[in-house]
Amino acid sequence: MTPAKGFTQIVYFSVILFSFLLFPHSPAFAKELPFVVPNIKAPVFTNRNFSITKYGAVADGLTKNTKAFEKAINACANSGGGKVVVPKGIWLTGPIALKSNVNLHLEAGSLILFSPDFNDYPLTIRSSGGKPEVCCVPPIFGEDLHNIAITGSGIIDGSGHAWRPVKKSKTTESQWQNLISSGGVVDEKSKIWYPSVEAMNGPKTVEKLIANNAYIKDYAAAKQYLRPVMVGLVNCKNVLLDGPTFQNSPNWNIHPLLCENMIIQNITVRNPWYSQNGDGLDPESCRNVIIRNCKFDVGDDAICMKSGKDEEGRSRAVPTENVAVENCIVYHGHGGFVIGSEMSGGIRNIYVRNCNFLGTDTGLRFKSARGRGGIVEKIYIQDIYMKDIPQDAIIFDLFYSGKNNSSDRQFVANEETPVFKNMHFHNIVCSGAARAMTIQGLPEMPTRDLTFENMSFSAKQSINCFETSNIKFKNVNIMQEKGPAFDMFNCRNFEFEKITFNESLPVFMNLTGEKTNNIELKDFNKSIMDKIRVDEKTNPDAVIISKSVISYLFYVTDLLPPIPLLK
């Protein structure tokens, strides 16, 4: 062994040891979280069963069993709790009010079918984004409860078709014609079908009622417009949803609000893909939540974190926090895992892993707008696998509502400005998308402090970044069909390391905007500059080519002279 080679090997092994200490190989991502993933225990119920058939329920799909459900649940609760059993069969019913210490258990073959009769759903006042609003009582509801569950392998159907409007753009021509022939009415532009004239005129009716400070009973004139969520839980603790299928909701499917210590597992959530506001699961201002082993095929966002809207949400000031999502599959939906747009109370400490998004409109979706306020931070997402995404695999959209988006006006950050920061993405693969990623911040509040590591995309277009700062891409593979790998406007303090892309295309990076600066390319060959386009308004020295610590040590080693042997 020559002295020079021996010294080089010593340096090499020292560098390897240093690299493992500084950048641990395959780190346990969860152990690096700055918050404790909730370890929540499921509620426990006494070993007492109360079958609804003992209280007069009839499984013919025609008899309304509202009273039978009520009697069985009351008997169970009054006895100290237990299990209310729904045997196989079709059980037509009006709203079901849950009670503390009760497990509503659906046996195999059971179907709870909620009545399409609007008269079965009294008017009530519920919070919508932090603002009290009149709506119909949800088919399943509970407030200020503890130790509650819905379990089993049966199906819960909300008869949402009786409530929901349908947009023509979301149907085929034959579906549209069948819908019209079924009854209901179509608006003047022939673009939206409504189940009734009352539902179609609902927005104007409600607007007048609010202006006149009307009593709740007066809202009966708009009842068919005031669609409820299917499962509405408010201020409940120790909640378990385990096993059933929840489908065909009038509005959002499952909406826990101000709830704590929830386990939601092994459920299937379904809505027609054309269902208006047909969300799957929307925890709002909830804390300590586990969502695992669930499947979603819905008409809007699948798993969506919320915390109130605008001033009302900021005043309530209750964030959604300490949420773990794992091993979920999303088929159709506007987004697989979503935050916003109602996030005014803040969202933090969210951990998502091991999920598949298959044909979902967008995979990971983060949305808000001026006026919301609120802070979204400490979001950790890993091991996400996506296929055939019609839009963006990952999108940050801070112009979601189109509200206050004028480009000829200067905005100043204030309490109404939404903040998205400190979010980390690790091990993400997308096979087929219209675009790999869009990160859209606000001029007055850039989306910032994001890391993307170990990612692979095949997409028609690649990554667009607007009004963003402090972003790191490491070990990212992008195989785009057209356009630059990175299209960046007003971006600053970016770091790129170990990036591969479609080198057959002429442009690697397109830089525009007067604010664009400090774009660092680590360990890139200087020839990459031939594939970077810089707009005339952008700093021509915005791009910096640097070497990583390890590369620099090898570089120095190559420059060292041989060390002679000692005699």
> Could you report the per-residue pLDDT of 34-45, keeping only the tens digit for each?
777 667 899 999
Residue 240 corresponds to which tokens in the numbers above?
């378990």
**Has residue 403 got a pLDDT over 90?**
no
Contact assessment for residue 98 and residue 104, using Cβ atoms and an 8 Å cutoff: yes
Single out the residue of 167, 227, 179 nearest to residue 203, CA to CA.
227
**Has residue 565 got a pLDDT over 70?**
no
**Has residue 3 got a pLDDT over 70?**
no
- pLDDT score for 564: 55
Any idea which residue has 């009622």 for tokens?
209
Q: How does pLDDT run across 501-555, given as a tens digit for each residue? A: 999 999 999 999 999 999 999 999 999 999 999 999 999 999 999 987 555 554 4
**Has residue 133 got a pLDDT over 60?**
yes
Q: How does pLDDT run across 276-303, given as a tens digit for each residue? A: 999 999 999 999 999 999 999 999 999 9
Contact assessment for residue 384 and residue 363, using Cβ atoms and an 8 Å cutoff: yes
- pLDDT score for 389: 98
Residue of higher predicted confidence among 390 and 404: 390
Spatial separation of the C-alpha atoms in residues 198 and 385, rounded to whole Å = 44
CB atoms within 10 A of CB 122: 12
Catalytic hit among 105, 255, 332, 334: 334
Opening angle at CA 402, ends 396 and 408, nearest 5: 100
Q: Considering only 5-19, 69-83, 473-487, which range has the smallest mean pLDDT?
A: 5-19
**Has residue 559 got a pLDDT over 80?**
no
Contact assessment for residue 384 and residue 429, using Cβ atoms and an 8 Å cutoff: yes
**Has residue 475 got a pLDDT over 70?**
yes
Spatial separation of the C-alpha atoms in residues 387 and 4, rounded to whole Å = 51
3-state secondary structure of 261: strand
| CATH of 301-401+414-548 given 2.160.20.10, 3.30.70.890, 3.90.226.10, 3.40.50.1100 | 2.160.20.10
**Has residue 238 got a pLDDT over 80?**
yes
Contact assessment for residue 240 and residue 263, using Cβ atoms and an 8 Å cutoff: yes
- pLDDT score for 291: 96
In DSSP terms, 294 is beta-bridged to none
Q: Measuring CA to CA, how many Å separate 550 from each of 5, 9, 115, 558, 560?
A: 18, 14, 67, 13, 16
Residue 477 identity: N
- pLDDT score for 19: 32
Spatial separation of the C-alpha atoms in residues 341 and 255, rounded to whole Å = 15
Q: Across residues 91-108, what is the average pLDDT?
A: 98
Any idea which residue has 């169970």 for tokens?
76
Cα end-to-end distance, the chain, whole Å? 16
- pLDDT score for 127: 83
Please provide the average confidence, as pLDDT, over all residues in the chain: 91
Q: Across residues 261-277, what is the average pLDDT?
A: 96
- pLDDT score for 180: 93
Catalytic hit among 279, 300, 361, 397: 300
**Has residue 17 got a pLDDT over 70?**
no
Any catalytic annotation for residue 334?
A: yes
Any catalytic annotation for residue 541?
A: no
Q: Considering only 23-27, 41-45, 79-83, 247-251, which range has the smallest mean pLDDT?
A: 23-27
Spatial separation of the C-alpha atoms in residues 288 and 300, rounded to whole Å = 24
Any idea which residue has 């007066």 for tokens?
218
**Has residue 557 got a pLDDT over 80?**
no
Q: Across residues 240-251, what is the average pLDDT?
A: 98
- pLDDT score for 4: 37
Opening angle at CA 240, ends 237 and 245, nearest 5: 140
- pLDDT score for 562: 60
Task: Indicate the DSSP class of residue 343.
Answer: B
Spatial separation of the C-alpha atoms in residues 78 and 346, rounded to whole Å = 38
* 47 exposure class (CB count in 10 Å sphere: 0-12, 13-18, 19+): exposed
- pLDDT score for 296: 98
- pLDDT score for 551: 55
- pLDDT score for 279: 98
Residue 439 banded pLDDT, cuts 50, 70, 90: very high
pTM for this one? 0.91
Cis peptide before 341 (omega within 30 of 0): yes
Spatial separation of the C-alpha atoms in residues 361 and 342, rounded to whole Å = 19
- Strands in 340-398 per DSSP E: 347-358, 362-367, 375-397
Q: Measuring CA to CA, how many Å separate 523 from each of 164, 188, 498, 509?
A: 55, 61, 8, 16
Residue 238 corresponds to which tokens in the numbers above?
């120790």
